Amino acid sequence: MKLNTIKRAGRSHFVNMGPIRLRQPFPTQAIEMIDPFVLLHHYGPYEISETNNPFDLGPHPHRGFEPVTFLVQGEQLHRDSLGHESIVQAGDVQWTTAGRGIIHAEKPSKEFVIKGGTIEGIQLWLNLPAEKKMIPANYQHAKHEEFNVIISEDRKIETRIIAGELNDLYGKIRTQTAVNAFMIDAKAGGEQSISYSNMHQSLLYLLKGKVTINGVEALELDHNQLMEFQQDGNGITIKAETDSILLFLSGEPLKETVATYGPYVMNSQTELMEAMRDYQMGKMGFLPAN
């Protein structure tokens, strides 16, 4: 396997999103996007209780992309204008295809707030190509135990295949574009190779711990948490220096003009105006507050 050269490593700085303080590795001034990935948020860990519950996202719209949630800790209630209502548990993934429009809401369940606990997760925005931006909306909820898992030879690293393919095993999620999404749970000393197409742009994001990549550069919490790779090889290697959790993403770049405003990801300003108008006219459905 020829290793992909490390393009850059960067910190995941904190930003404020209303009452929520979270990490935003991109977009930043240095990294606008990593095509086809538009945005990555790492929220939490938050300690949730009846007197402290900032993570209550009421009904809001999306169009033109796929918002994806990887829940690491805790429990969230998902509702949407397609009629879905489900409890997302730690290790679960919810993959929403906003397409022409969807309204959804997320918050800790009432039971979780009462008993208290920790919530942590990743919110990813995956772009849709122009010809698929107005497809019907869809929602997929895959549970932790449903994913195929690859265990390293040393038995210390588990790679959960959320979407795409690794070593002839496939993800549970059906995708609109060619992407890989793997959650990696590594024990100290574990080593694992990840192979993928050189047509993909790719990145690693560290949620916890410390790892060495390709034997040359480290990812460490509060130092560098994001690593982006060149398209000059067909894989990377990971060695866990401490117990670690990582998200690996790769996808074929769309190479299209991107126009964003709030919860919409389109190809032009005109399309953004149309999205705002359609939402106001009720064309993205309806979801009552709860």
Cβ-based neighbours of 44, under 8 Å, separated by 6 or more? 22, 55, 72, 73, 74, 118, 119, 120, 121
Tell me: domain 14-145, CATH 2.40.50.100, correct? no
Domains 14-145 and 147-254 share a fold: yes
The upper half-sphere exposure of residue 6, i.e. CA atoms within 13 Å in the direction of its Cβ, equals: 17
**What is the reported pLDDT for 289?**
82
**Closest to 193 measured CA to CA, from 218, 170, 214:** 214
CB 204 within 8 A of CB 244: no
Question: pLDDT, tens digit, for every residue of 104-133?
Answer: 999 998 999 999 999 999 999 999 999 999
Other C-beta atoms lying within 10 Å of the C-beta of residue 83 = 9
- Judged against a pLDDT cut of 80, whether residue 60 lies above it is answered with yes
User: What are 83-98's pLDDT values in tens digits?
Assistant: 999 999 999 999 999 9
Burial class of residue 177, CB neighbours in 10 A (0-12, 13-18, 19+): middle
Domain regions of the chain by residue span: 14-145, 147-254
| Tally of CB atoms within 10 A around 227 | 25
Residue type, 286: F
The whole-model pTM stands at 0.96
Number of Cβ within a 10 Å radius of residue 52: 11
> For the structural domain made of 147-254, what CATH number should be given?
2.60.120.10
Contact status, residue 198 vs residue 233, Cβ threshold 8 Å: yes
